[in-house]
Structure 1
Amino acid sequence: MASIIAGVEFHTDPPPGASSAPKIEQDAPALLGLHREAPNLHIYTASSINYEALNRINDRSITTLPVATVRPTDETEVATAVRYISQNGLTLAIRSSGVDQGGRSRASGPKDVSLDVRSLDKMVLSADRQHVTVEGGVSSEALLKFLDNHDLATPTPLSRVVGYVGFACGGGYSSWNGTMGLAADNILGGRIALADGRIVDTEDADCDPDLLWTLRGGGAGVVGVVCSLRVRVHRRPSLLGGLVAFPQKEAPQITERLAKLYAWKKPNKLVADVGIVNRPESGGQFFFLFVWALDEDRSDLDEATDYLDRILGLGTVVINTVQQTTPYLFTMSIKTPVLFADLIFSRKTVSVPVWSEELGHILSEPLPNSTSIVVIHDRHGTGTRGSDSTFVTNGAFLNREPHVMLGIIAAAPPDDEEGLRNSDAWVNRVFNGINAAGLAMPQKYINFSTPHKGDGIHYYGADGLDRIRSIKSRLDPSNLFAKSTPDLA
């Protein structure tokens, strides 16, 4: 069999309106040399049509715009742009989807350039159907759909617009972690554009031995621009999957019973992630995304159905959409929060080792509005340390013990001062309550975090932090990629 290249329906061309040389000289003269060196490279400046929309990201607290946006279409253009930016004293931020929780994908200073890789979106399935090459701008939905067309799957997030590379390199919590491992575990290799313009492949004989380790959970863009990843693929499982919802006020009862259920049996085939929302029509809901990856012959369907019945017995069921489905159909059936709305976000992330009634009491506090959510990933199975030696575990991702990771997120419009205060207060009450109860683990998840001083220790641990610092000193000595990197002080 030959390799398969994804069709044109998966490609997004750079938008019209790239700046001409006179416009670049007027708006961003520091990039005129880049335009002359690479005249086909799409460069957008402040006078470009829809420039604000081109640079729109999910959190409206960041309103300043970069001096220019560069939109490469291949890795050669990426390397040219990165080298030029580095040599000319400019700074950059790497944008794939623009939904990064910490605003790391938005360049906003007077010398900042946005490197927008969304048109770098080729996907190639290997001839042996064992891996897929994914370029840096591929969305998670595009990868999920492309693989689904060929009866394959790999860990992808529920949020369909998330950039796959940033998701995977940050660790990659997914509904398939129990059987397939974290997304980072499925990274087999990659190609990176370094600050000096070199393209390095992790399979090169002279490649830095820590580069692949860094890609597996260290975060995207730590030492360079990820032009592409090679990712392990799996047989597409049939699922028993869907949404099961209960009233939020029952959270203490549900979490107490869930802790007992998991102590009895917690199958690797099951990932029952949790969300807490405030629906205008029905109030607070505590819901499970019940996902059971069935055996190929579906001989475990009775076991899966029995476990579903036990989940349904946790509380008063108000929604149950669970049915036999596929990863693509399941993901597309889940309504996700509206993105790129006029909202400012307050967010915290924390992990706990297990479910408990005490945690349920904290999570029963009503959400401040309908644009707030608690996203909870429950990790076990092949996504945890030592559970399956066939999966990659030699990576920078730190939290390998079974755990429950919470993303506590609230939002309000920029002109709603009271709403913003209430959102921030609620996030802090939930976060501080978990910490005050002694439930929190020290590790944090980079994809759900906002930057703060010294945060590298929470993502990498002491030994991992030293290793990240060392590879940064070798491959990015001028710290060009500081925007993408947790604070390493």
Structure 2
Amino acid sequence: MTSITSGPEFHTDPPRGASSTSSIEQDAPALLGLHREAPNLHIYTVSSTNYEALNRINDRSVTTLPVATVRPTDEAEISTAVRHISQKGLTLAIRNSGVDQGGRSRAFGPKDVSLDVRSVDKMILSADRQHVTVEGGVSSERLLKFLDGHNLATPTPLSLVVGYVGFACGGGYSLWNGTMGMAADNILGGRVVLADGHVVDTDDADCDPDLLWTLRGGGAGVVGVVSCLRVRVYRRPTLLGGLVGFPQKEASQITERLAKLYAWKKPNKLVADVGIVHPPGAEGLFFFVFAWALNEDKSDLDEAKDYLERMLSLGTVVVNTVQETTPYGLTMSVKNPELFAELIHFRKTVSVPVWSEELGRILSEPLPNSTSIVVIHDRHGAGTRGSGSTLVANGAFLNREPHVMLGIFASAPADDEEGMKSCDAWVNKVFDGINAAGLAVPHKYINFSSPHKGDGLHYYGADGLVRIRSIKSRLDPSNLFAKSTPDLA
């Protein structure tokens, strides 16, 4: 067999309307030298017809735009752009989807450049079908679809538009954590463009020994632009999967019974992540994304169905779409929240060790509107330390014990002052309630968090923070990639 490279159906060209030499000279003169050195590199300044659309992000609270957006199409163009931006004393943010909850992909201000890598989006499946090389701009949907076409899979998120590299380097919760581990556990290597334009590969004999450790859960863009990752792949499982929904008002009963069910048996083959939503014109819904990865011969199908029946008995079932499917089929069937809408977002993240009735009582709090959601990942099995799994990698991701991670999100239109107050109050009420009840653990999840002072300690722990600071000082001494890095003070 030979390696397989993704075709044009998986590629997005840079949009038309890149700025001319005269426009760059007028709008962003600091980038004129870059344009002359790399005339085919797409640069979009304020006068470009696509400037505003290219800089659209998933939070309309940010209205100031960057001096320019640079859209490379390969690693060489990334290298040239980064080197020039660094030499000119500009700052940058790395964008591969624009949905980062913490705003680390947002560049705005008179010296900020947005490095938009969404057209660096090639995927190469290895000849032995053991790993796939994923370039920095690949979306999770495209990776999932590409692998599905070859009867393979790897941990990917439910949100289809999320950039895969950012997701995986941040840790990567998915429906396959129980059997395949976290996405970060499956990073075998990668290539990173440093501030001086130099490209380093984790397989190089002279590569910094901490680089691979950093890629595995430290976050994307900490010391450079991740041009690609090499990721372990697996046989695509057949799933018994779908949505199981209950009324949100039954949350305390459901979580109490769920805790007892998991105390009896919590199969690694099952990941039942949770979403809490408030559909328009309906009551709040507490639903599980039920996904049981069946044995290749489906010899455990009866066991999976029995466990499903036990979960259906947790409360009053109002939704049940569970059937035999595939990772791609299940992911495509789950409706994602609307992105890039005219909304301002409020968000908090918190983790707890286990499900409990008290947690359910707090989660019974009605959502403020239909654009709000609680996303809950239940982490166990191969994704945890001490599970006996060979997948647990030596990486920067801190929270390696079994836990339940919650992302609490609310949003309202910018012109709805009361709606924004209501959203902010609800997010804090749920977050503060969990902390006041003594349920929270100190660890945070970088992909769901807004930056704040000292947050590096919550992501890496004391020892990890020292290690991150050290590699940062070696590979990014000028702190060009400060935008992507948690606070390391």
TM superposition score category, shorter chain reference: over 0.9
Per-residue CA distance 1:72-116 (angstroms, 9 max, x = gap) = 001010011001111110000000000000111010121000000
Superposed displacement of residue 63, structure 1: 1.1
> Structure 1 counterpart of 2:79, which letter?
A
Measure the CA separation in 2 of the matches of 1:360 and 1:333.
26
Superposed displacement of residue 390, structure 1: 1.6
RMSD: 0.5
Superposed displacement of residue 421, structure 1: 0.3
1:315-334 correspondence runs (5 A): 315-334=315-334
Measure the CA separation in 2 of the matches of 1:394 and 1:173.
17
Where does structure 2 lack aligned partners over 5 or more consecutive residues? none
- Find the residue that maps to 1:132 and give its secondary structure: strand
Measure the CA separation in 2 of the matches of 1:98 and 1:6.
23
> Structure 2 counterpart of 1:287, which letter?
F
Measure the CA separation in 2 of the matches of 1:419 and 1:385.
42
Partner of 2:429: 429
Task: Indicate if the aligned counterparts of 1:5 and 1:123 stay in contact, CA closer than 8 A.
Answer: yes
Partner of 1:9: 9
Task: Indicate if the aligned counterparts of 2:44 and 2:50 stay in contact, CA closer than 8 A.
Answer: no
1:16-95 correspondence runs (5 A): 16-95=16-95
Partner of 1:139: 139
Is the aligned partner of 1:487 residue 2:456? Answer: no
Superposed displacement of residue 389, structure 1: 3.8
1:48-197 correspondence runs (5 A): 48-197=48-197
- Find the residue that maps to 2:361 and give its secondary structure: helix
Measure the CA separation in 2 of the matches of 1:396 and 1:279.
37
Measure the CA separation in 2 of the matches of 1:349 and 1:140.
22
Task: Indicate if the aligned counterparts of 1:192 and 1:224 stay in contact, CA closer than 8 A.
Answer: yes
Task: Indicate if the aligned counterparts of 2:16 and 2:50 stay in contact, CA closer than 8 A.
Answer: no
Task: Indicate if the aligned counterparts of 2:278 and 2:372 stay in contact, CA closer than 8 A.
Answer: yes
* TM, length-normalised to structure 2: 1.00
4+ runs of 1 displaced by more than 4 Å? none
1:264-343 correspondence runs (5 A): 264-343=264-343
Task: Indicate if the aligned counterparts of 2:221 and 2:485 stay in contact, CA closer than 8 A.
Answer: yes
Measure the CA separation in 2 of the matches of 1:388 and 1:485.
32
Measure the CA separation in 1 of the matches of 2:420 and 2:46.
30
Task: Indicate if the aligned counterparts of 2:178 and 2:271 stay in contact, CA closer than 8 A.
Answer: yes
Measure the CA separation in 2 of the matches of 1:203 and 1:479.
24
Measure the CA separation in 1 of the matches of 2:197 and 2:378.
40
Partner of 1:363: 363
Partner of 1:464: 464
Task: Indicate if the aligned counterparts of 2:181 and 2:391 stay in contact, CA closer than 8 A.
Answer: yes
Task: Indicate if the aligned counterparts of 1:385 and 1:393 stay in contact, CA closer than 8 A.
Answer: no
Task: Indicate if the aligned counterparts of 1:62 and 1:103 stay in contact, CA closer than 8 A.
Answer: no
Superposed displacement of residue 127, structure 1: 0.2
Superposed displacement of residue 300, structure 1: 0.2
Per-residue CA distance 1:405-452 (angstroms, 9 max, x = gap) = 000000000000000000000000000000000000000000000000
Is the aligned partner of 1:446 residue 2:446? Answer: yes
1:178-217 correspondence runs (5 A): 178-217=178-217
Superposed displacement of residue 275, structure 1: 0.5
Superposed displacement of residue 120, structure 1: 0.1
- Find the residue that maps to 2:376 and give its secondary structure: strand
Measure the CA separation in 1 of the matches of 2:392 and 2:430.
34
- Find the residue that maps to 2:433 and give its secondary structure: helix
Superposed displacement of residue 283, structure 1: 1.3
Measure the CA separation in 2 of the matches of 1:373 and 1:320.
20
Measure the CA separation in 2 of the matches of 1:347 and 1:98.
16
Superposed displacement of residue 387, structure 1: 1.1
Per-residue CA distance 1:309-342 (angstroms, 9 max, x = gap) = 0000000000000000000000000001000000
Measure the CA separation in 1 of the matches of 2:247 and 2:337.
19
Task: Indicate if the aligned counterparts of 2:152 and 2:233 stay in contact, CA closer than 8 A.
Answer: yes
- The percent identity for this pair of structures is 84
Measure the CA separation in 2 of the matches of 1:219 and 1:122.
21
Superposed displacement of residue 393, structure 1: 2.1
Measure the CA separation in 1 of the matches of 2:283 and 2:420.
20
Superposed displacement of residue 282, structure 1: 1.8
* TM, length-normalised to structure 1: 1.00
Superposed displacement of residue 392, structure 1: 3.6
Measure the CA separation in 1 of the matches of 2:368 and 2:302.
40
> Structure 1 counterpart of 2:227, which letter?
C
- Find the residue that maps to 1:110 and give its secondary structure: strand
Per-residue CA distance 1:254-309 (angstroms, 9 max, x = gap) = 00000000000000000000000011132101000000000000000000000000
Measure the CA separation in 1 of the matches of 2:393 and 2:351.
20
- Find the residue that maps to 1:67 and give its secondary structure: strand
Measure the CA separation in 2 of the matches of 1:309 and 1:445.
32
Measure the CA separation in 2 of the matches of 1:243 and 1:61.
33
Measure the CA separation in 2 of the matches of 1:43 and 1:388.
49
Task: Indicate if the aligned counterparts of 2:245 and 2:320 stay in contact, CA closer than 8 A.
Answer: yes
Partner of 1:412: 412
Where does structure 1 lack aligned partners over 5 or more consecutive residues? none
